[in-house]
Amino acid sequence: MNCRSSSMFPFLFLFLFSFSWIASADRHEDFLQCLHYQNSNAISKVIYTPINSSYSSVLQFSIRNGRFNTSATPKPLVIVTPLNVAHIQAAIACSQKHGLQIRVRSGGHDYEDRLLSYMQESFPELGLVKEDCIEMSWIESTVYFAQFPRNTSLEVLLNRSPRPTSFFKGKTDFVKEPIPKTALEGIWERLDQVDAGSAELQFTAYGGKMNEIAESSTPFPHRAGTLYQIHYGISWDEEGIEAYAKYISWIRRLYSYMAPYVSKNPRQAYVNYRDLDLGVNNLGNTSYRQASIWGTKYFKNNFDRLVRVKTAVDPANFFRNEQSIPPLSSW
């Protein structure tokens, strides 16, 4: 249950992308003028449109999955790389004024660890000893998870040049009851299939202190009652629709196979490993009923509370994405 391979996961960014689904040159000009008007304070240094020679490299810089690096992937009209709060405010105010949609680049993970003594008590058959473990500071673990060789200097974290990316798809489950041995054998069989490519499963232990945190304490509801989370991932390097179909189908089949062994009604999912297979909002028209399908998987009963917050702070649904929380006005 060693967690490896995080190169496929995005790390923290603060890039604002402004999209317009109805591409309009005027709108985009008005938006740029608005930005300069709102914030003359050197904002042009952080605005990129396709005419800027560095537009492509700035866009590419934050792509961490080849599936979103195709000619069919919508490209932002404008990229803003804000350096301060005023830049963010100007980008939001002007997008709203001129009918552009904002997409924010960001990400983050919240893994917790395990204890050696607990492993020896609960899983003595694994024979885990201190020598099998590597003790390191949190910052060193970031370098480890990014798969740099041991003892690589922390300076490597200052290197922001993108590393080569492959195509990737992930899904998640939460496990409430021990999975029977036969089910684990079924997982092994699937991992041996050719279509598994470089698939991997990560099991993140819950329990302990996490068991004391009720569903309603924070928007993330999956702590109390969860034994562990499974993250299924598959990555591949071959370009093209055939490879895409093969590997996506493999992970979807594995996900179907796992249904009897994981949380149910709803089958819970982790919002930080967003999975668009669970459903998406209609473009420009979010419906509460539709969004409840994935919203309750990610947030359980907290979904309704989030809808109330959304309704209070963004009734016009300005901040939206494929799986955003809808305001209550939209049924």
Ligand X SMILES: *[C@@H]1O[C@H](CO)[C@@H](O)[C@H](O)[C@H]1NC(C)=O
Residues that bind ligand X (CB under 6 A): 44-45, 47-48, 52, 60, 63, 66, 69, 150-151, 162, 165, 282, 284-285
Active-site annotation holds for 244: no
**φ, ψ dihedrals at 78, nearest 5°:** -140, 140
Three-class SS state of 147? coil
Catalytic residue among 48, 255, 273, 288: 273
Q: Which is nearer to ligand X, 63 or 243 (CB)?
A: 63
Q: Which is nearer to ligand X, 9 or 48 (CB)?
A: 48
Minimum distance between the CB of residue 74 and ligand X, rounded to whole angstroms?
15
Amino acid at 171: K
Classify 268 in phi/psi space as left (phi over 0), alpha (psi -120 to 50) or beta. Answer: beta
Minimum distance between the CB of residue 242 and ligand X, rounded to whole angstroms?
17
Buried b (16+ CB within 10 A) or exposed e, 30-66: bbbebbeebbeeebeebbbeeeeeebeeebebbebbb
Strand order in the sheet with 78-80: 47-48, 78-80, 15-19, 101-105
Q: Which is nearer to ligand X, 79 or 262 (CB)?
A: 79
Rounded to whole angstroms, what are the CA distances from 100 to 79, 192, 201, 282? 12, 46, 38, 17
Minimum distance between the CB of residue 308 and ligand X, rounded to whole angstroms?
21
- Cα maximum dimension of the chain: 68
Minimum distance between the CB of residue 256 and ligand X, rounded to whole angstroms?
29
CB-CB contact of 291 with 242 (8 Å): no
Minimum distance between the CB of residue 45 and ligand X, rounded to whole angstroms?
5
Q: Which is nearer to ligand X, 44 or 120 (CB)?
A: 44
Q: Which is nearer to ligand X, 61 or 257 (CB)?
A: 61
CB-CB contact of 97 with 10 (8 Å): no
Tokens encoding 69: 């690096």
Residue 151 DSSP label? T
CB-CB contact of 18 with 80 (8 Å): yes
Minimum distance between the CB of residue 330 and ligand X, rounded to whole angstroms?
8
Q: Which residues pair with 282 in a beta bridge?
A: 285
Q: Which is nearer to ligand X, 248 or 271 (CB)?
A: 248
Residues marked active site are found at 273
